[in-house]
Structure 1
């Protein structure tokens, strides 16, 4: 017999006050409980069980081959009266057999529970069956508890909702909001929390870059007005872009531009995560949120020299795969193109991408002048600080033993430079490169990532070059001035050209589409020269130190599809092989 859970017998369901079935949790569970009662809740049966059915846990089987007479039969939409806390307890006790507070296919429970129906005031019941309905039930109960509800009327339709529709609705109306952050006085307490911080210092820190005096003064003012924050205006969370707004008192103040974080341990703005997040935001109509994230990337390039892996001070030496041009163009395609403000916004984004391209991706050490291939090769020394404390213990133990130190003592001395281990330096160079690639972790890059001209990075930079050329030609009348001064990378690349100290400056001439299409054509040629393997009909990474291809097959070889079309037919043949398998 399935366990039967119902509401107290003195409670009556009020139909006309029920909210729309697909309302968000704030609406669906907000407000007062929608019941009437003739006497107090204290008259309810123990644990809220229906007295006509046995308690939830007897030694009989829970599973049945057919419906029993207790199941209510009705063509009307079915709703349940539920005691929130008791039902959570029973669901977890019966169904969550692995103790992870979730209901999944790995749990060995009966996947069956009876709930009292609203139309019968709980005297009749209906079975909730299967992993999906039970997991949704637990999720709905958790939402109800978050809204301080003790008892609820729950639509069956919320438990049987199409999975894609349910996920899409929750992403659009709930998840984006819960993952939104701002770096300003109102948002600091949330954004400064860093689960990756192993230093023991918990006071929130904020680093304001040089050249932003108004921003620095703003955060000093916040520190004075909110002493409970113990705000330390120096390295920590990195300041991001802000807008000037009215303060409501006839003056002006600064307000952080909101952005979305990945969540969990990653409570800051991330690079290529933000690109994929922005695609979802555009699908859900949050164009301004996506646009604001590009504004943050422009700010990072201007003040920190690159789009950072993440907006913490320990990420200052590291970027991630380049997606800015596509991100900006995808957003611009959803803006009013007759609005000159939107055109100016795209101009700033393309100018920033050009600076990032010249000063990061085709600049040493990431550029290999001999081949012309770009690499993930970040600066930095020591152990990546964002990892779990024991992540590198197995790597560090032999060195700690060699120096007669504990792993912790060795780590501290190695990080502060009092101990030098060139072999370990090389290991962490490649480890940082793997993290910069966004593909951490993979055997494909093990102990060699910083030396590789990876096929995916070349494909992304080819798209950068085409995107920039196309934007200059189609949007900016084939002329784009660069306002910020920086050195332009030599073209075509060669060791001799990169050895020359005198470089052309960005402000020396306007940018035209022709030179960017030339760069794209050159990159396509070197990709075919160094990365294409004719015998295997596939692109591979190229090791610029060993001067050979690394024959590790990766799905990123297909990033070239639609970008370098000459190999399209050959590459697509691989998909037919995959389909056959």
Structure 2
């Protein structure tokens, strides 16, 4: 690591015994015993360091002490006896340090492969509830079948299961007691790599991957971003959809569609060779296949409106949830059948009790999870009945992307690999029609905003959420509509630390219990920030975009400075803290000494935000100037 120009005068060199220095730091400064040095610790003394030249330096700053601990942890892992480090490295500006570690460490630590080399790290994680290491392989993937059956011969703990030609909800329920990993693409005898979110999320997730891809492209990892597109195409070809994630219990569930954007952004960075043109033709063919078969020819299409909904098929209780997650719901039905809740749950799971209303509740719950917003009061017990603004915005973007790619790279006419022919005009008309239907069903003239439409009640909802503003990102709005939407967005969803997932009033009005749902007020999420920044810039609202980028990056930076480099899954953006108390806690906050991976889309949002932020604001970020001071 080179010294920042800002601290070049502090190029004082130290040679530190690794184990002793780590011990001294933890004994003297980790007063709560969590193997981190944070603002919550209360050290009673200054830390003295003697340089190789004999100079004595006093460290008082928690951030500098935690940086030193992190660098010692890296040296310790490499089994170094001593660490040579400069003062300017210890005092590395926080934005520079976070960005550098994302680029040079975090992406590599989050990279996985489903093959001999990479399988162990996935199959032995906390989601595997028995001693078996299972991998499920599509019946028609001859390359994958040969690879994993040969691997099984040398790894006897590995159980390889060939999936049947037709995957039904009944089949998925039948294997819930035998959970396993779903294979991904094998090429040249190795697994094609992908990036995972981090923490307990140790597989390839649907919409996470697109946002991670944005960060990868910015950091020059086009190879890895392209590989993730290839794995998505594999999933569509062999599993029929982009999976919620490559676990056996996700076989009937997809996630928000971003493949066309992913393809377009990757191809823009590739040399325009004949080989890459073939890649574009293949991936575009697959993306069109997904659009037609996953979204337009299933229950995810609603003929009454001509729009789309999330709709995840499945039977019974989603097996990935924690024990007790549905206890309050199940208790209602246990009382109805005069049974204990545990007895009712067991009878319902094995099919002894059938209840259509409870079955529908779990269709809604699975659908909510398919939307990526698990969970929110916006979708609770209603998700499968909604033409959602976010989904239809994303499919509009698909149609516009297909129009652009065919027009730009295929002279307006495209023959897909299955022989079907398309013109860019065809997709232009598709997009235009969707825009008309979205204006008809989702736009509220009085409130000047898009809202989800309930196809069952034939009414718009009025839940104020970040997803209402996805049309800005998709480029679907007219400038006049954007001029109405943006002031509303800034009024309802701007918080100290970034955009809220929903506003306080809607969250409180629709909550049916005191449970805090993690995709609601007061929480903020990386994908919402990234989409809304781009949406603001699409319509000329650069100042608003810069302000919201700064607020979000300040939240990440301040928490990393105060808490030993912590970069978690989400934030409370009202209080600008990673200390959240929602239903699932906060992934990425549990580690010792140093975080090795941050969190996938949070890392990407940091790199994306920095790429858009003018230099004068980066300097303010390094000085941790509060947003309300900077922008008031």
Q: TM-score, normalised by structure 2?
A: 0.71
Q: Distance in 2 between matches of 1:403 and 1:89?
A: 59
Q: Does 1:280 align with 2:215?
A: yes
Q: Distance in 2 between matches of 1:546 and 1:575?
A: 27
Contact 1:281 1:290 in 2 (8 A): yes
Contact 1:196 1:388 in 2 (8 A): no
How far residue 386 of structure 1 moved from its aligned partner, in angstroms, is 1.6
Deviates more, 1:433-442 or 1:90-99: 90-99
How far residue 376 of structure 1 moved from its aligned partner, in angstroms, is 1.1
Q: Residue 537 of structure 1 corresponds to which residue in structure 2? A: 448
Contact 1:328 1:349 in 2 (8 A): yes
Q: Distance in 1 between matches of 2:280 and 2:326?
A: 42
Q: Unmatched 5+ residue regions in structure 2?
A: 164-179, 495-543, 545-630
Q: Residue 243 of structure 1 corresponds to which residue in structure 2? A: 187
Q: Distance in 2 between matches of 1:234 and 1:145?
A: 43
Q: Does 1:92 align with 2:22?
A: no
Q: Does 1:175 align with 2:119?
A: no
Q: What SS is found at the alignment partner of 1:480?
A: strand
Q: Distance in 1 between matches of 2:438 and 2:489?
A: 21
Q: Deviations over 1:407-445 (max 9, x none)?
A: 454434322322212222222212111211111121221
Q: Distance in 1 between matches of 2:270 and 2:290?
A: 24
Q: Distance in 1 between matches of 2:358 and 2:30?
A: 44
Q: Residue 568 of structure 1 corresponds to which residue in structure 2? A: 482
- 1:408/1:202 CA distance change after superposition, 3 Å: farther
Q: Distance in 2 between matches of 1:76 and 1:457?
A: 52
Q: TM-score, normalised by structure 1?
A: 0.76
Q: Distance in 1 between matches of 2:337 and 2:49?
A: 65
How far residue 538 of structure 1 moved from its aligned partner, in angstroms, is 1.1
Q: Distance in 2 between matches of 1:302 and 1:258?
A: 17
1:85-484 equivalences under 5 Å are: 85-109=19-43, 112-120=46-54, 125-198=56-129, 201-227=130-156, 229-234=157-162, 236-244=180-188, 254-337=189-272, 339-403=273-337, 407-484=341-418
Q: CA RMSD in A?
A: 2.4
How far residue 98 of structure 1 moved from its aligned partner, in angstroms, is 4.1
Q: Deviations over 1:216-252 (max 9, x none)?
A: 122111111233x4343457211111213xxxxxxxx
How far residue 152 of structure 1 moved from its aligned partner, in angstroms, is 2.3
Contact 1:193 1:267 in 2 (8 A): no
- 1:446/1:90 CA distance change after superposition, 3 Å: farther
Q: Distance in 2 between matches of 1:370 and 1:333?
A: 38
Contact 1:219 1:233 in 2 (8 A): no
Q: For this pair of structures, how many residues does the alignment match?
A: 473
Higher relative contact order (CA 8 A, sep 6+): 2
**Which of 463, 466, 469 is equivalent to 1:555?**
466
Contact 2:3 2:11 in 1 (8 A): no
Q: Distance in 1 between matches of 2:339 and 2:3?
A: 60
| Structure with max Cα Rg | 1
Q: Unmatched 5+ residue regions in structure 1?
A: 1-19, 24-73, 245-253, 485-506
Q: Residue 31 of structure 1 corresponds to which residue in structure 2? A: none
Larger helix proportion, structure 1 or 2? Answer: 2
